[in-house]
Amino acid sequence: MDLTKEKWLPVIFSNGDKKKISLRDLLDNRIQDLAYPRADFQGAAWQMLIGILQCTVAPEDKEEWADIWHESIEFEQWEKALNTISLALQFGEQKPSFLQSFDPLDSEYGSIAGLLVDAPGGNALKLNKDHFVKRGNVEQICPHCAAIALFAIQTNSPAGKPLSFVYDIADIIKFEIVVPKAFEIARRNPAEPDRDVRIACRDIFRSGKTLAKLIPLIEDVLAAGEIQPPLPPEDSHPIAIPLPVALGDSGHRST
């Protein structure tokens, strides 16, 4: 399966229609967003598309970047660019295959669920310690989902320690909330995009009581691994909206 030609990427169009497209169809201006059912797939697909663009049609300077932003890319240029990486985007049993080693596999077959970032690891299954994330939730996935699941696990694979799962949770929040909101605001070309994104995300977290749901989950994961909550680094980014008095939101900090 050639991932540059196969219609395997689910997207949503400006009229609300959803369908799968190929990488060669990405120049269609009616496309509004990716439409994966899982946040980790959605985030991984955005990472992959950004990487493909950067590797194949990266502008040489700011002027060329502006030309692409205003005038897009010619289809012939895009098709030629994809042809240069087509060999690396062949997905299937034959070698070379997408994100697969040329070396023979020296391990037992495992469940397809092992490709999912939230699946219990092999050691947890062996020791029967899959207490928080249970086994058996996913037994089959389609080839298109398998391809993006493979990219997601290869790019964002957890290290298997409780603290790493905290960062995985943060990544899911980032790609499910922050990234879509950032793109939405960027389309409006605001004067202070960073501030606008931070305020918008703050409002989303408050209205959805995100922190009230998220903090107990993180505390449970850390407690399971007997890990103390990490402290913010000295050079961490300041809070979005400094206030003299906290607003009472769960997890809200004030200065």
Find the mean pLDDT for residues 183-198. 87
pLDDT at 158: 57
* 177's tokens: 């909330």
Give pLDDT tens digits for 3-40. Answer: 999 999 999 999 999 999 999 999 998 999 999 988 88
Task: List alpha helices for 104-192, DSSP H.
Answer: 122-126, 143-156, 162-173, 179-186
User: pLDDT (tens digit, 9 = 90+) per residue, 41-70?
Assistant: 898 899 999 999 988 988 888 888 888 888
Query: For residue 110, what is the DSSP state?
Result: -
Report the pLDDT value the prediction gives residue 248, as an integer from 0 to 100.
47
Predicted pLDDT of residue 23: 94
pLDDT tier for residue 181 given thresholds of 50, 70 and 90: confident
8 A C-beta contact, residue 13 and residue 31: yes
Band (120; pLDDT cuts 50, 70, 90):
low
Q: Per-residue pLDDT for 196 more than 60?
A: yes
The arithmetic mean of pLDDT across residues 176-190, rounded, is 85
Burial status of residue 102 (CB atoms within 10 A of its CB: 0-12, 13-18, 19 or more) = exposed
**Mean pLDDT across the chain:** 77
Q: Is the pLDDT of residue 253 over 60?
A: no
Task: Please state the separation of Cα 232 from the chain's center in Å.
Answer: 23
According to DSSP H, which parts of the chain are helical? 39-57, 62-71, 75-83, 122-126, 143-156, 162-173, 179-186, 193-207, 210-224
**What tens digit of pLDDT does each residue of 69-116 get?**
888 889 999 999 999 988 888 888 776 778 776 677 676 666 777 677
pLDDT band with cut points at 50, 70 and 90 for residue 225? low
Confidence at 208, pLDDT banded by 50, 70, 90: confident
- Token pair 């961490």: residue: 236
Q: What tens digit of pLDDT does each residue of 125-174 get? A: 555 554 455 555 666 888 898 899 888 888 876 555 455 566 666 667 77
